[in-house]
Amino acid sequence: MRGKRNSKRAAWLLTFVLLGGIGLAGCQQQEAVENMKAFRQVGINKMNEGDYEGAVKAFQKALDQSLANILQMEMEQDICRYKATAQYNSGDTKGAIDTCNALIEFDENDAKAYFIRGCVNLKEKDSDNAKKDYEKALELSGDYALYLSVYENLAGAGFTQQAEELLANALTLKADKPEDHRERGHIYLIRGEYEKALKELDQAVNKGDTKALLYMAQVYEAQGQEKKAKPVYENYLKKNGTDTSTMISLGEIQMESGKYEEALEMFQQALSTENPENEKRLRRNEIICYENLLDFASAREKMASYLEDYPEDEDAKRENIFLQ
């Protein structure tokens, strides 16, 4: 495997040298990099909108800009990971596997590629290979956030015992950085060990990690201390900005708790911003809130407008029949 990877890198470097030898202008290389970045961003925007097939096409266009420049290698790997994720979400599991295999063949230490392939294998009910890929990803990374992602996937697939063991293993890792304490607090929150969670989150906040405030607010909510939770949520928004992704996260937390009025207010606040990101997701969540509040007139009105802008959403079409 290492020999293949080294020969691949050597071939890439040789191509770079040859291209340089025929006088490839620096401005051309810069233009190619800018084009790659632009198509990459288009792909990310498409993913945020739920248009995964469009995202795959955009990421491929980004890769098509390559001039075999060795300096572009990391960016191309990054784009390939995004492409594999979009393929996975679009239902093209074979394409996602092929993209991950290519990433791993190029760099056998690519933890993210193993993780994505593990997700695809899990979706394909190949739990044995999924677990092997997850184990390899964690062995290479040892990152708290990755442990939590694997935990959520395994728990969601019904492997409860393995998922809980994974969280216990994560807590044996060192906590050197503020974000490490934040994720440890998140783990204790999941395990229902609220005092330990608050202790870790306090350390994270005291070391300047304001994102830990979100989990701290959730701990207070889990303890039934909503009066304490509300100002912490507000402080979190104040510290991290009122970007739509933050408001979506908070709104969906409220939805999961059955607090649809609060969630609706959060989604509408996000929609009132200029050119909000994830507008499609926000508008779908807005409709769901109206439905759960039994305000079907508003839900029908919002759905009609939504389908004008997103006529390809088959799930929304079926839901609209119910609303009618």
Tens-digit pLDDT profile for residues 71-120: 678 889 999 999 999 999 999 999 999 999 999 999 999 999 999 999 99
Q: In terms of pLDDT, which residue wins out, 278 or 55? A: 55
pLDDT of residue 71: 61
Tell me how far apart the alpha carbons of residues 311 and 324 are, in angstroms, rounded to a whole number. Answer: 17
pLDDT of residue 4: 44
Written as six digits, the tokens of 195 are: 């005092």
Average pLDDT, the chain: 86
Tell me how far apart the alpha carbons of residues 212 and 254 are, in angstroms, rounded to a whole number. Answer: 18
State the amino acid at position 10 in one-letter form.
Answer: A
Q: Is the pLDDT of residue 197 over 90?
A: yes
Written as six digits, the tokens of 168 are: 């216990």
Q: In terms of pLDDT, which residue wins out, 23 or 106? A: 106
Of 21-25, 154-158, 221-225, 238-242, the one with minimum mean pLDDT is: 21-25
Query: Per the confidence metrics, is the pTM higher than 0.85?
Result: no
Nearest one of 39, 36, 77, 86 to 58, comparing CA atoms? 39
Burial of residue 56, with CB atoms counted within 10 A of its CB: 0-12 exposed, 13-18 middle, 19 or more buried: buried
Q: Name the pLDDT band for 20 (thresholds 50, 70, 90).
A: very low
Q: What percent of the chain has pLDDT over 90?
A: 58
CB 271 within 8 A of CB 280: no
Q: Name the pLDDT band for 68 (thresholds 50, 70, 90).
A: low
CB 218 within 8 A of CB 198: no
Q: In terms of pLDDT, which residue wins out, 133 or 323? A: 133
Mean pLDDT of 294-302: 92
Written as six digits, the tokens of 87 are: 């393929």
φ, ψ dihedrals at 255, nearest 5°: -60, -45
Q: What is the CA radius of gyration of the chain?
A: 23
State the amino acid at position 276 in one-letter form.
Answer: P
Nearest one of 114, 151, 156, 110 to 133, comparing CA atoms? 114
Nearest one of 188, 181, 246, 183 to 207, comparing CA atoms? 181
Q: Name the pLDDT band for 12 (thresholds 50, 70, 90).
A: very low
Q: Name the pLDDT band for 150 (thresholds 50, 70, 90).
A: very high
Residue-wise pLDDT tens digits, 221-261? 899 888 888 888 888 888 876 667 778 878 888 888 888 99
Q: In terms of pLDDT, which residue wins out, 6 or 119? A: 119
CB 250 within 8 A of CB 237: yes
State the amino acid at position 31 in one-letter form.
Answer: E
| One-letter-per-residue 3-state SS of the chain | CHHHHHHHHHHHHHHHHHHHHCCCCHHHHHHHHHHHHHHHHHHHHHHHCCCHHHHHHHHHHHHHCCCCCHHHHHHHHHHHHHHHHHHHHHCCHHHHHHHHHHHHHHCCCCHHHHHHHHHHHHHCCCHHHHHHHHHHHHHHHCCHHHHHHHHHHHHHCCCHHHHHHHHHHHCCCCCCCHHHHHHHHHHHHHHCCHHHHHHHHHHHHHCCCCCHHHHHHHHHHHCCCHHHHHHHHHHHHHHHCCCHHHHHHHHHHHHHCCCHHHHHHHHHHHHCCCCCCCHHHHHHHHHHHHHHCCCHHHHHHHHHHHHHHCCCCHHHHHHHHHHC
Q: Is the pLDDT of residue 37 over 80?
A: yes
